[in-house]
Structure 1
Amino acid sequence: MMAKVKFISFVPWVTIGSVIGSLFIVPMMPKIVDALYYKNKYNNEAVNFYKTYMDKCYTIKVTMPPEESQLYLNNIDDAKYPLSEVFDTTYNSSNFFYNPSADYTSFYCKEYKKYMNIIAFKDVNGSYVEKELYLTVNRDDMNNPAYGTKDNPVPVLKAVGVSEPIWFSGKDTDSVFMDNFYRNNVINYLKYKMP
């Protein structure tokens, strides 16, 4: 009996605990946090009902303000109205650059007397400034008095130039590309952004 007690006192319990922690528990932390927090953080069912949202959309024609105009919300307050946002989808910091992001162009639309926000989940690499655009908006959003304010602008998930391309590459003149872009934009908006 005494020999067992002496043997147990020589076992390096702290070392064994450190090995177990560093080999098993620490590597599992991102998976545990993802399962508990990120699993239901966003609307993972968006892909099932994006068509319903798109069926209620229609196109309007607007003229965008000049670049330095106070009609762009970012020109009024850069901190409150950022030009982009990143959506954290995992605790794992090595996946940071794979997180989805959205670019925003929030502005006051004189034609409809509402604030609107052009949202793109893919880099448009172009310019809306002082151009005539066709904007695709949702009928429910346009008719809802909760939308169209500075704090809750009407989301615009597709914008194309009326007489000239918005994208420097001219991709917005390709209808097949724009249909895919719009579909993916709607799904990502419903998943990450829609309240």
Structure 2
Amino acid sequence: MRNIFKHIPMVTLGQILGTVVGFPLLIFLINIFYYSNKYNDDAEQYCDNYIKKSYDIEVMMPEEKSKYYLENQDENIKTSETFRTRMDNNFFANPQGQYYPFYSVEYKKYFSIMCFLYPTEMHWPCDMKVILTVNRDDMNNPAYGTKENPVPVLKDIGVDESIRDNDQDYDKAYMDSFYRENVIRYLKYKMPKSEFKRRFKNK
């Protein structure tokens, strides 16, 4: 073994060791010390608190080409997001969120319908009556409802027709499960850590 290293230049040996040992170790340390603390991993403990303060409102969604949809006004509006949970090459395995931000004439607030699971089973509503489930604290907070920080909507149901395939809007067990899981992922990945701590842990 010594004879092998004897014929390898020190620079090359350093590169080999860096690739074989250093880089994997760096990734391991980043995953442990950065990604393990990046999100609100105990969100499930507090999802019921968030849900208990929620209620339904009914709105008429704007037409498809309406200026009230933020993505029609500003191409920089974020309508999707991927949350990195670890440093690896499988980027598509990470959780994702899809957003549908719009302005409500009835409530004079900006809302964003957010989906962190099963987005392919939904048809984003346009020009139809919908029931939106919102959180009371979000609605009463003047920091929410702006263009920059719309009120999050984590459950929406069509009034006259289902937004989801197979009339799943009207399957209560399915929608209760969908809402709970969507809330957990919103609290875990999307809500800033400082706000999560203030609203749920400092009480």
Structure 1 length as normaliser, TM-score? Answer: 0.88
Q: 2: distance between equivalents of 1:178 and 1:171? A: 7
Maintained 8 Å contact 2:112/2:153: yes
The DSSP-based 3-state class of the residue aligned with 1:170 is helix
Paired positions, count: 186
Q: Is 1:172 equivalent to 2:169 in the alignment?
A: yes
CA distance in 2, matches of 1:61, 1:182: 17
Instruction: Indicate whether 1:88 and 2:91 are aligned.
Output: no
Q: Higher mean Cα deviation, 51-60 or 18-27? A: 18-27
Is residue 2:105 matched to residue 1:110?
A: yes
Distance 1:158 1:133 in 2: 10
Larger Rg: 1
User: Kindly, what percent of the aligned residue pairs are identical?
Assistant: 47
Structure 1 unpaired stretches of 5+: 1-6
Correspondence for 1:3: none
* Offset of residue 175 of structure 1: 1.4
Q: Is the 8 A contact 2:47 2:183 kept in 1?
A: yes
Q: Which amino acid aligns with 1:86?
A: T
**What amino acid is aligned across from residue 110 of structure 2 in structure 1?**
Y
Structure-2 residue corresponding to 1:191: 188
Deviation at 1:22, TM superposition (A): 2.9
Q: Which residue, 11, 14, 31 being the options, matches 2:28? A: 31
Structure 2 stretches of 5 or more lacking a match?
193-203
State the partner residue of 1:150.
147
SS at match of 2:37: coil
Q: Does 1:98 align with 2:88?
A: no
2:34 aligns to what SS in structure 1?
A: helix
Question: Which of residues 59, 65, 86 in structure 1 aligns to 2:56?
Answer: 59
TM-score using structure 2 length: 0.85
Counterpart Cα distance in 1 of 2:69 and 2:178: 24
Given residue 121 of structure 1, which amino acid in structure 2 is its aligned partner?
F
> Quick one: distance in 1 between partners of 2:39 and 2:144?
21
Q: Matches of 2:16 and 2:65 in 1, distance apart?
A: 59
CA RMSD, Structure 1 to Structure 2 (Å) = 1.9
Equivalent of 1:72 in 49, 63, 69: 69
Instruction: Indicate if the aligned counterparts of 2:67 and 2:73 stay in contact, CA closer than 8 A.
Output: yes
37 and 163 in structure 1: CA distance in 2 versus 1, 3 angstrom threshold: same
1:120 is aligned with what amino acid? Answer: C
1:27 CA drift (Å): 2.5
